[in-house]
Structure formats: C-alpha cells, structure tokens
Amino acid sequence: MTIAPLSTREAAPTAAGHSETLDDSDWLASSATTFPDDAGLVSRIASPTQKVGEVVCLVRGQPAHAVIHWTRPESSPSGAPANASDKAVLRAAVADRSGNQCDLPVEKAMRPGPSGNKIRAAFRKFRTHHPFRDLVLGVIALLLICVGYVFLSYEFRSLPGAKSVSSVVNEFKGNKSGAGQSGVLYQPPAQGVYTLRGQGSERISFPPNSMEDGAVMPATVTYLSRGCWRWHLDYNTAHWEEYDFCPTANSLLQTGNRNYQAWDFGTMKVTNLATFICPSNATVLLGDSASGESLRWVCTGSNTSVQGKTRAAVAIHSYGDVTLSIGRARVTAVHQLEKTTLSGGQNGTVLENWWYSATSGLPLRMTRQIKILTASPVGTITYTESGSWQMASITPRS
C-alpha cells in the first residue's frame, strides 16, 4: 500500500539565494525531533534522511505500532543544488505493519529559526519509545500501586468492638445436667451469661497492631459432662478465652484452657487458637486453701499459627479469703496469684491475679499482665496484653 506524503517543510534561503543545507544539527537541534500532541505519537528519529523509526499511533481508533520513513531531497529534480525557488522537502509516511495509515497527521509544517533549526515551543519535548524502559516503568508503577493499596488497607483496617451481652444471651444454649452434684466440695455455679466490667488491651509488635477490650464483657458458664463446667469470656469480638473446671471431693481442677484471637492487617487476616491440656492433678482450689499455700503443675499446648509445642509451667500462691462487693452482694472469694512461664514454641510470662468464689470456684475478678515472644522469619515478635475485669452481678442471664 502506497502512503502519500503527509507534510512538507521549506528550508530557509541564504544570502546567495540558495537553500541552506539542512544537516542533522540544524534540523534536529538536539539530534531529535518530535511529533505534535495532536498526532498522538511519540518517537525519536536519529536522522531526517532515509531513516526508519518506530512509533505508536492510533489506527482505526486503536493504539498500534507504526513505522515512519523520513525523506529529504538533497538536490533539485535536475540534479542541481536547490535554489531559493526550489523546495527542500521533508516528507513523512506512517503506517502500521499491515499498511494501515495512522488516523492523524504526523507533523505540522514549520520553518527553521535564524539561529538554526530550533524546535518551536508549540511542539512538546519528545519521548522515546523504549519497550524495555516502558516495561520497567510499568513494573515500578504496579509496585507503587500495590504498596499504596497495602498501606491504605492497613490504615483503614477494621478494629474489633465490644461483644454484646445481649447477643450472647440470645445465642446461649446451656445443658441440663451439671448443677447439684453430690460428693463435691465446690458446687458448679449457676449456668448462664454473666456481665463483667473492665478494660484491657492487646498489642503485637510486627506488623504493629492492637485491639482493646470492651468496657462491658460477657462471660458464660456452660455445664459439661461428669459435673465439669466451662468458663468462656469474650474480651471483644476478636478475642475470647475459656477454661474447663472440674470439682472433686476436696478441690477444683483446671483440665484445659483455650485462647482465640483474630488480627486484621488490611490485606490479610491472621487467626490463632491456642489450646492447652493440663494434667489430672492441676488443682486451682483446695478446700483448706490458706494464705501462703502454693500449687504447681505443667500444661502442654499448641498454637494454630505457631510451630512446635509450648510448655506452660504454672505456679500458684494463695492469699486466702477476702470479701468482694459484686453488685449489691458481699461475696467471699479466694485470692490467688498465678504465674505461668512459657517455653518451647513460645516464650514468655503470664502473671494473673484471680479471685474465685469460695463456694463454687466461679471467677469473680481478675487482673493480668502478659508478655510472649515468638520467633518468626522477620525476627522475634513481641505480644503484650494487660487488663482487668470484675463481675457486675453474681446472677446470670439465660
């Protein structure tokens, strides 16, 4: 397919009446020329004489690669040097590889200035089309977009709120058996949903994140088999903890403990369930718990997000009986300091003060200070937790 010339340009006359020789430095000024903005093209042409370059233009309304061929006659048709009456003409033909002509003109006619052929201000500075450079720039742009997305997702991540006591009451399903056990020292507490009041926070060092406990927290007592019962506490909508207790003729045992957390980092969410199983002699309360008495045992556990087993060595120191005000009631409680040392998959210390009902072992109050270190590919991650709560009423809802 033959493409007709799309533009022409005259050379400036000299004093002798002949056209100046339009060499590369005069014509290009900086060894380059540009297409005007209305052409929708970008290219760099090393020389205006018989040079072929590649551009991008619109062919039938769609972007396409095209080939440009510049031609400049060096003499008149008769072979003599071009004079003032002759035209030293630059022509450009642009078409894609299938021969389809570009939709818009390539350039506008213009004359060289007196100080050489300077590109007029009306023409924009050229941009060279380099596929490799464009690929690199595209990758960089994509990375910037991804980083921006991750940053914004993290900044506007959702934070857990307080767990509604009413929602827990609506969902609560207790078991019939459990109350009124014979031959046990600590009778199981009333089954249902208890209201706690308190405060607390949990923090993780990397990626940095935190959550807050609800000012009002629901806790449930659910009866299990063989006279055992479960204490479940929702610190917020993303963090809960529960303990399994079993009464005996002269003590209250703790058979297991579970702790669940969900962390929102914007572009990803991480959940972890820690499950610990304690030995059959893991005694929380003795019938004659006196001030200064000590209890010890070791539980073994694992985490869904941490490799390896974790050993939890528990040491309890009893401060004896105290009296607490729970709502309008005065309740006798056993105050204990419980220190748990973690090793293995996780390392750290859990320091808790517990106040248990002296008649049922129901938790009435608690304070906690926790620091746990976990190894990871990016280094040691530090988890800290602190807080306290106290029961608002000893009468549950169900």
Per-chain mean pLDDT for the chain: 74
Handedness of CA 57, 62, 63, 66 (dihedral sign): negative
Structure tokens at 193: 């949903």
pLDDT one-digit tens code per residue, 95-114: 556 666 655 443 332 333 33
CA-CA distance, 31 to 48, in Å (whole number)? 9
Structure tokens at 246: 């079993």
Q: Are 81 and 17 in contact (CB under 8 A)?
A: no
- Kindly list the distances between the CA atom of residue 205 and the CA atoms of 84, 350, 352, 376, in Å, as whole numbers in the listed order: 80, 17, 22, 12
Q: What pLDDT score was predicted for residue 349? A: 97
pLDDT band, very low/low/confident/very high, at 330 (cuts 50, 70, 90): very high
Does residue 44 have a pLDDT over 50? no
How many H helices and E strands in the chain? Answer: 3, 17
pLDDT one-digit tens code per residue, 152-183: 666 666 778 899 999 999 999 888 766 667 78
Q: What pLDDT score was predicted for residue 296? A: 94
Q: What pLDDT score was predicted for residue 256? A: 94
Q: What pLDDT score was predicted for residue 10? A: 33
Alpha helices (H) along 85-198:
131-155, 165-171
Class of residue 77 by CB neighbours under 10 A (exposed 0-12, middle 13-18, buried 19+): exposed
Short-list 284, 225, 231, 232, CA closest to 253: 284
pLDDT band, very low/low/confident/very high, at 131 (cuts 50, 70, 90): low
Percent of the chain with pLDDT over 90: 47
Q: What pLDDT score was predicted for residue 241? A: 97
Structure tokens at 21: 């020789």
The count of other CB atoms within 10 Å of the CB of residue 110 is 15
Q: Are 144 and 138 in contact (CB under 8 A)?
A: no
pLDDT band, very low/low/confident/very high, at 332 (cuts 50, 70, 90): very high
Full DSSP string of 135-159: HHHHHHHHHHHHHHHHHHHHHT---
Q: What pLDDT score was predicted for residue 8? A: 31
Q: What pLDDT score was predicted for residue 235? A: 97
Q: What pLDDT score was predicted for residue 97? A: 60
Task: Give the mean pLDDT of 57-74.
Answer: 54
- Length in residues, the chain: 398
Of the candidate ranges 26-40, 259-273, 282-296, the one whose mean pLDDT is the lowest: 26-40
pLDDT band, very low/low/confident/very high, at 277 (cuts 50, 70, 90): very high
Beta bridge partners of 330: 325
Short-list 270, 277, 275, CA closest to 259: 275
Q: What pLDDT score was predicted for residue 146? A: 77
Short-list 331, 350, 302, CA closest to 393: 331
3-state secondary structure of 209: strand
CA-CA distance, 355 to 337, in Å (whole number)? 9
Class of residue 42 by CB neighbours under 10 A (exposed 0-12, middle 13-18, buried 19+): middle
Q: Are 217 and 233 in contact (CB under 8 A)?
A: yes
Beta bridge partners of 42: none
Tokens 């022409």 correspond to 8
pLDDT one-digit tens code per residue, 375-387: 888 889 999 999 9
> Which is more confident, 94 or 308?
308
Handedness of CA 224, 197, 296, 181 (dihedral sign): negative
Does residue 14 have a pLDDT over 80? no
Does residue 73 have a pLDDT over 60? no
Q: What pLDDT score was predicted for residue 25? A: 31
Q: What pLDDT score was predicted for residue 95? A: 57
> Which is more confident, 292 or 215?
215
Q: What pLDDT score was predicted for residue 381? A: 92
* Report for 122-131, 221-230, 259-268, 361-370: range of highest mean pLDDT: 361-370
Structure tokens at 388: 């306290």
**Spatial CB neighbours of 94, under 8 Å, sequence gap ≥ 6:** 3, 6, 41, 55, 57, 66, 67, 68, 69, 101, 102, 106
Angle at 196 between CA 368 and CA 327, to 5 degrees: 115
Distance, C-alpha 6 to centroid of its chain? 54
pLDDT band, very low/low/confident/very high, at 30 (cuts 50, 70, 90): very low
DSSP state of 189: P
Class of residue 336 by CB neighbours under 10 A (exposed 0-12, middle 13-18, buried 19+): buried
Class of residue 391 by CB neighbours under 10 A (exposed 0-12, middle 13-18, buried 19+): buried
pLDDT band, very low/low/confident/very high, at 87 (cuts 50, 70, 90): very low
Q: What pLDDT score was predicted for residue 111? A: 34
CA-CA distance, 174 to 397, in Å (whole number)? 11
CA-CA distance, 72 to 163, in Å (whole number)? 81
Class of residue 239 by CB neighbours under 10 A (exposed 0-12, middle 13-18, buried 19+): buried
Tokens 């072979």 correspond to 79
CA-CA distance, 282 to 301, in Å (whole number)? 14
Q: What pLDDT score was predicted for residue 360? A: 94
Class of residue 71 by CB neighbours under 10 A (exposed 0-12, middle 13-18, buried 19+): middle
pLDDT one-digit tens code per residue, 334-354: 999 999 999 999 999 999 999
